[in-house]
Chains A and B, each alone.
Chain A
């Protein structure tokens, strides 16, 4: 069900604060929902979350059977009470979950890293050591809004997660640090709206990116617009293969 409303607040188009609480209809409903996307030719990555390694592994197997191409493990949602935030902040728990999921499925597993930790790169190292095929960084940043007249938090759950352009610098810093410590591919996420945002993440070390909050402000057409803009931008920068840029902003200057 997720949390009661208010579940969302926005700061112009600079940021979004959400405490949705991961509402979802349960894994039983997913085969029919995902079939629609797959029949249309889309490659689907299934996102799952659970309370412990066992639950993650069970859900992973069921999500794999719906025909998704890969899994993303939501280890890092900071505002789902007892679900995700504790797991994602503990390298041992990250290792246990990734290991259990890798034993349960054949498709690639991407571990999503939380920024709500003093050393997110250590969480990525834990995921890699347990066999994760890739990591994505970052999930939302733990945040809060309070109304001064009402003297209470704006969101029903109180604490929420901040997303959107406001967190891009935080996402970039995490990708940067993770790139220095792991060899597996990194998916960059956090505040991406324009082609230059994508390229920043690639230069920091990302091989792919995700876009979330910007969809709320621009609509679902953003993916087509962004892909076109990226191609034009790379042409103007005289970059023939985007792979050349992965991690290229690091002092060593060498992409992996």
Chain B
């Protein structure tokens, strides 16, 4: 009887930014943009990671945030990792005019979704933000399929000096969109939702939480009445804006509510 976890070899390692690396690996189960896998770094930990590449070899784009993700940055080609999944729901690819709003490493989950939508004829406009120019992610990748890509940096080194939500607010005023897809810090996503709500444009957010089982059972990823692992990670804005925790609190690994 086979275990659910597949041990596979990292086939490619791409340094995207000083803090972010993409690891690609052969993994045959079909995946759709929006979905995530649980990636086990043997000897360390197993983490949920949205797929930044959904066609084989599949890929995850990891930003150094804690000890495991920092360790993951030095994983080399040939290293064995454990993968299970894909889990979770997917982006609905039917909207024809899509605004992407990516904050930091949040762009990693939006990129394959944008590529898939563009293949089906959708028109993509992207607004990407980062702390500094060197940390902007997948700009060229999105430029090759988007009508336009605008960038912002906190320090003003590249593009607009300010927040990506300044860009999205302006773009929503200037152009018509059928949907906004966003991923990044929750506080940022809340702002995106306010701008879009004012113009009645539906927003879909890719959410993130600690996970253990990823099967909808252990409640580690509980978000109000939902589980991010089975009801998400992609959530329509209406489900989030009613939750007191959205943009304010999450749960730690013991289940206790802590501020974001």
Binding site for B on A (CB under 8 A): 1-2, 4-12, 14, 18, 20, 23-26, 29, 145, 147, 149-150, 152, 154, 156, 215-217, 219
Contacts and interface: CB of A to CB of B under 8 A. Distances in A.
A187 to B, nearest CB: 20
A7 B3 contact: no
Given A9-B3, A24-B254, A29-B256, A219 B216 contact: yes
Contacts of B216: 216, 219
A156 B44 CA distance: 8
Nearest to B8: A149
Interface in B55-69: none
Contact of B4 (A4, A11, A152): A11
B47 A5 contact: yes
A138 to B, nearest CB: 19
A23 B220 contact: yes
Nearest to A5: B46
A127 to B, nearest CB: 27
7 contacts: A2-B253, A26-B256, A147-B7, A147-B82, A152-B42, A216-B213, A217-B215
Given A23-B255, A25-B257, A149-B7, 17 more contacts: A5-B46, A5-B212, A10-B3, A20-B213, A24-B255, A25-B251, A25-B254, A26-B254, A29-B256, A147-B5, A147-B42, A150-B42, A156-B45, A156-B46, A216-B215, A216-B216, A219-B216
Contacts of B4: 9-12
B218 interface: yes
A20 B253 CA distance: 11
A37 to B, nearest CB: 12
Interface in B126-162: none
A211 B150 CA distance: 52
Given A5-B45, A149-B7, A150-B7, A11 B80 contact: no
Interface in B1-16: 1-5, 7
B246 interface: no
Interface in B204-260: 211-218, 220, 230, 251-257
Contact of B217 (A2, A4, A12, A215): A215
Contacts of B257: 25, 29
B38 interface: yes
Given A8-B212, A219-B216, A23 B7 contact: no
Contacts of B212: 2, 5, 7-8, 20, 23
Interface string B6-41: 010000000000000000000000000000001010
A149 B215 CA distance: 25
Nearest to A14: B1
A2 B254 contact: yes
A147 B4 CA distance: 11
A172 B220 CA distance: 31
B5 A23 contact: no
Contact of A216 (B2, B211, B217): B217
Interface centre among A24, A152, A154 (most CB of B within 10 A): A154
Nearest to A217: B215
Nearest to A6: B46
B254 A5 contact: no
Contact of B5 (A9, A25, A216): A9
A12 B254 contact: no
Given A11-B3, A154-B3, A23 B46 contact: no
B203 to A, nearest CB: 26
Contact of A6 (B5, B251, B253, B254): B5
Nearest to B219: A23
Q: Rank and list the top 4 A-B pairs by shortest CB-CB distance, nearest first.
A: A5-B46, A25-B256, A216-B217, A25-B255
